[in-house]
Amino acid sequence: MYCPKCNAEYIEGITLCADCGVPLVAELPDERATSQPETAEFKEILTTFNAGDIAIIKSLLDEESIDYYFQGELCNYARLLMEPVRLMVRNDQVGEAKDILKDLELDYSLNAAVEE
């Protein structure tokens, strides 16, 4: 018998976990089935070459708890102006992120565009 909350093992005849107070189960669920995190899908909504733009965008999105990452951000320093950095936002937050960034003027960027 096992506690489903703390995984403690008990002898037959015990029905409640002494620490958690929950009913025991005969077997614990397979850890591989329960430990895999849910994966989120991300969509590109903006590209830029400018590190200043990236810093401003990060501060705005962090303030609103938007899940994002910049694809190619670190490579941009080594391959300057070869390929833009891409802002990737979680699919279910794309609308909110676009709304936050819609009035942002990226004047100092060589190429910054919010996808419509």
Q: Are 48 and 85 in a shared domain?
A: yes
The boundaries of the domain holding residue 97 are: 42-114
Q: Give the tens place of pLDDT for each residue, 2-43.
A: 888 888 888 888 999 888 888 999 888 776 554 445 667 999
Q: What pLDDT band is residue 78 in, cutting at 50, 70 and 90?
A: low
Residue 93 inside a domain? The answer is yes
Alpha helices in 1-116 (DSSP H): 31-35, 51-63, 73-78, 94-101
Are residue 101 and residue 66 in the same domain, yes or no?
A: yes
Residues 72 and 110 in one domain: yes
pLDDT at position 84 is 82
- Residues 56, 97: one domain? yes
Do 48 and 25 share a structural domain?
A: no
Supply the pTM of this predicted model: 0.57
